[in-house]
Chain A
Amino acid sequence: MTIHSTAVPLENENVDTDQIIPARFLKATSRDGFGKNLFRDWRFNNDDDAQPKADFVLNSPVFNGKILVAGKNFGCGSSREHAAWALKDYGFDAVVSSFFADIFKNNALNNFLLPVQVSDAFVQNLFDTIQKNPAAEIDIQLENQTITNVSTGEQAHFDINAYKKTCFINGYDDIDYLLSIREEIEAHERSL
């Protein structure tokens, strides 16, 4: 699986899930349509007439793409999976950061939004590259677990456990697997 795209640089650290999708938008009972409220309070001045904030990167006419590059500790705070739904619905397929909050990482993987964890230095170089040239491309190869800053040629390896990788590539679901081993689960349960 390949994700090859330009990227949006979000140079903030500790981006929490309350920023990704504020609590007042969690009242829906379906998984759809959260993209329009992604980073709502950073993107718009208010809810009524949706005046975009010119200085926020998602409103910039020059930056776009399927990859979000963000500062460290991305996705901290609330467990709301709505954050992963919003990013995916908006059009992102991968988020690159030097580290992710644990619950967000699981939520992302369960929604086929790829969390790519690389070093601080690699992220910083990506920021520099994108700021210099917003058309710069990034290439992510899930099979090889590599991410390449195409214009500099710099490449990094990222970790993903083998099981999750297989799920991701084949669109497998944990629940189907767990249902298939029900007898083993029930046997364990009896032993508790």
Chain B
Amino acid sequence: MTLFDKIWNRHVVKQIEGGPSVFYIDRHFIHEVTSPQAFDGLRKRGIGLARPAQTIATADHNVPTWDQHLPIKEALSRMQVEKLTENCQEFGVELYGLGHAYQGIVHVIGPELGITQPGMTIVCGDSHTSTHGAFGAIAFGIGTSEVEMVFATQCLMQNKPKQMRINIEGELQKGVTSKDIILYIIAQISAGGATGYFVEYAGSAIRSLSMEARMTICNMSIEMGARGGLIAPDETTFEYMKGRKFAPQGAEWDKKVAEWRQLHTDADASFDHEIHIRAEDIQPMVTYGTNPGMGIPVTGSIPEETVLEEKERPSFRKALDYMGLQAGKAIKGQKIDYVFIGSCTNSRIEDLRQVAQFVQGRQKADSVEVWIVPGSKQVEAQAREEGLHKVFEAAGFQLRQPGCSACLGMNEDKIPAGKYCISTSNRNFEGRQGQGARTLLASPLTAAAAAITGEVTDVREMLTAN
């Protein structure tokens, strides 16, 4: 059996003839954007939550990243966040709302609080729920009707997906991070290349990654269409989890770790599809287009139209037109106006440490504005405790307060029309960071290098110079 099979089988309540399985959910995360209509649905039915204690709420998508102690200025955002508070009170759900020491991006706080654990089934009305798969959990995003379903019954109706394994063997080059691994994979198989699959990431390059780096990879599984992605738990996982607020303690911890050690794909298990990648082949990656599959090495050029199939060309042309970029042109040297370091993909303490270490003693380019948005209150507090805020301040970077921020611009953090933003987030869709905004996805290191030079830069050159 695969790791996925082992968790899946345990959670199937029953199999419907000719249809989906009734699938039991261990943990349900909610936020303010995709939950209000589901709470309304419960009111209409006159029922409550089946398992409120397995449900955890936070406010992240709409929250401002300045002055979080003041009321939210924008009326609709404020109402949505207030609605979440009212709903959580009425239905008895634990809320880590604005001002709470545990508030933050839902996919950052779950792992850091030890709520996310190996072997679990985890859902949230948010496609980046795949992040939690880094712990060896089946975790995936759902729609609001399904949020209501989990509220009401703690179950979902699910068809078992096909399974894919992506093996990455070898050692990463200096300056290449887990973000580059996932951007490389998506560029290889396209933005729809894993649709219908659940992906297991394996191989020595994955094993050598920290938990936070693994989360970055699983986070973007959805960007190639995968239902989710997961990585078998190991000593790195247990070490990260031990002692966290809601992780098992004492004798219970030992018992759980023994169980979790069984969570791996058996040697004789087979997959519907397998991919093999050499870690040495991966370079720092940057996207040039309007879906995450449109990525190239930082030293590469935007493809010529002639390499594409004819029917792909109109979408390709539309993307380049939106981005104001030319086919065949090198991406290195492209001018940047904004740098966004944040989002559920790359806003954890290791990301901030890596950026701080790189920018220490350096100054941002005059022409760029740099926003660092930590993933949670705990990440923010840790960064300040370590003095990272002083490094950022000296470099001219703004360290803001936690939330989803400019990843999707539901708060005031929007990139102006026509401006270029190098972003550590997960989506370069048209208008994602603001109407007319042009997004180039990259790793925190590559984004930090662009902040210093004001243009797309091969961070490896600056590492050597250092």
Chain A residues proximal to chain B, CB less than 8 Å: 11-14, 16, 18-19, 22-24, 26-31, 41, 46, 71-73, 76-81, 84, 99-103, 106-107, 110-111, 124, 161-164, 174-175, 178-179, 181-182, 184-185, 188-189, 192
Chain B minimum-CB-distance residue to A191: B10
**Complex: A18 Cα to B409 Cα, angstroms:** 11
- Besides A18-B432, A23-B409, A81-B144, 12 new A-B residue pairs in contact (Cβ under 8 A), listed by A number: A12-B318, A16-B291, A26-B61, A27-B33, A27-B80, A71-B311, A78-B127, A79-B142, A81-B34, A102-B195, A106-B142, A185-B24
Residue of A nearest to B226 (CB): A102
How far apart are the CA atoms of A143 and B322 in the complex, in Å? 42
CA distance A111 to B409 in the complex (A): 27
> What residues of chain A lie closer than 8 Å to B145, measured between beta carbons?
81, 107, 110-111, 174
B154 touching A103, Cβ below 8 Å: no
Known: A81-B143, A192-B10. A178 touches B430 (CB 8 A): no
In the complex, the answer to whether B429 meets A16 with C-beta atoms within 8 Å is: yes
Q: Which 5 A-B residue pairings sit nearest by Cβ, starting from the closest?
A: A163-B19, A73-B192, A81-B143, A162-B18, A107-B143
Q: B329 contacts the other chain (Cβ, under 8 Å)?
A: no
Q: Once the chains are docked, how many angstroms separate the CA of A14 from the CA of B145?
A: 24
Take A26-B33, A163-B157, A185-B154 as given contacts and tell me if A175 and B149 are in contact as well, using a CB distance cutoff of 8 Å: yes
Q: Which residues of B contact A101 (CB under 8 A)?
A: 192, 195, 225
B291 touches A76 (CB 8 A): yes
Closest to B293 in A: A14
Q: Which residue of B lies closest to A106 (CB)?
A: B143
With the chains together, A77 CA to B318 CA distance in Å?
A: 18
Q: How far is the CB of B87 from chain A (nearest CB, A)?
A: 9
CB distance from A51 to the nearest CB of B (A): 14
Q: Which residues of A contact B127 (CB under 8 A)?
A: 77-79, 103
From residue 208 to 251 of chain B, which have CB atoms closer than 8 A to chain A?
A: 222-223, 225, 227
Contact B192 A76 (CB under 8 A): yes
CB of A76 within 8 A of CB of B191, answer yes
Which residues of chain B are near A16, meaning CB under 8 Å? 291, 427, 429
B252 touches A (CB below 8 Å): no
0/1 string, B349-379, CB within 8 A of A gives 1? 0000000000000000000000000000000
Q: Judge whether A79 and B155 touch: CB under 8 Å.
A: no
Name A177's closest neighbour in chain B (CB-CB): B157
Binding site for A on B (CB under 8 A): 10-11, 13-14, 16-20, 22, 24, 26, 33-34, 36-37, 40-41, 45, 47, 50, 61-62, 76-77, 79-80, 83, 125-127, 140-146, 148-149, 152-155, 157, 159, 161, 191-192, 195-196, 222-223, 225, 227, 291, 293, 311-312, 314-315, 318, 408-410, 427, 429-432, 435
Kindly state the separation between the CA atoms of A179 and B47 in the bound complex, as whole angstroms: 10
A79-B125, A110-B143, A192-B10 given; A41·B430 CB < 8 A: yes
Q: Which residues of A contact B13 (CB under 8 A)?
A: 181, 184-185, 188
Report A-chain residues with C-beta under 8 Å of the C-beta of B427.
Answer: 16, 18, 77-78
Cross-chain contact A161 with B159 (CB below 8 angstroms): yes
Shortest Cβ distance from residue A70 to the other chain B in the assembled complex, whole angstroms:
11
- Cross-chain contact of A77 among B14, B40, B142, B429 (Cβ < 8 A): B429
- Least CB distance from A185 to B in Å reads 5
- The answer to whether A164 and B19 touch across the interface, beta carbons within 8 angstroms, is yes
B154 pairs with A189, CB closer than 8 A = yes
Inter-chain CA distance A189–B13, complex, in Å, is 8
Out of B40, B76, B149, name the residue touching A27 (CB < 8 Å).
B76
| Contact indicator A29/B83 (Cβ below 8 Å) | yes
Q: Which of B11, B141, B146, B154 contacts A110 (CB 8 A)?
A: B146
Q: Which residues of A contact B24 (CB under 8 A)?
A: 185, 188-189, 192
Please give the distance in Å from A59's CB to the nearest CB on chain B: 16
Judge whether A99 and B195 touch: CB under 8 Å. yes
Shortest CB distance A26–B (Å): 5
| B14 partner residues in chain A, CB cutoff 8 A | 181, 184, 188
Q: Are A79 and B80 in contact (CB under 8 A)?
A: no
Contact A14 B192 (CB under 8 A): yes
A19 partner, pick from B17, B149, B430, beta carbons under 8 A: B430
Partner among B19, B22, B26, B33 whose Cβ is within 8 Å of the Cβ of A178: B22
CB–CB B18/A27 < 8 A: no
Given known pairs A77-B127, A103-B143, A185-B154, the reply for A26 and B225 (CB within 8 Å) is no
Indicate whether A14 sits within 8 Å of B77 (C-beta atoms), given known contacts A84-B143, A162-B18, A178-B153: no
Q: Pick the contact of B409 from A24, A107, A192 — CB < 8 Å?
A: A24
* Bound Cα distance from A19 to B161, whole angstroms: 26
Residue contact B153 to A13, C-beta cutoff 8 Å? no
| Most chain A Cβ neighbours within 10 Å, of B192, B291, B312 | B192
- Nearest-neighbour CB distance to chain A for B186, whole angstroms, equals 11
A124 CB contacts on chain B under 8 angstroms: 311
Closest A residue to B319 by beta carbon equals: A14
CB closest residue in chain A, given B151: A175
Q: Name which residue of chain A comes closest to B430, CB basis.
A: A19
Question: Contact between B314 and A19 (Cβ–Cβ < 8 Å)?
Answer: no
Given contacts A14-B191, A18-B429, A103-B127, contact A27 B225 (CB under 8 A): no
Once A111-B145, A163-B20 are accepted as A-B contacts, the answer to whether A13 and B312 lie under 8 Å apart by CB is: yes
* A29-B195 in contact (CB<8A): no
Q: How far is the CB of A15 from chain B (nearest CB, A)?
A: 9
Contact of A106 among B146, B148, B154 (CB under 8 A): B146
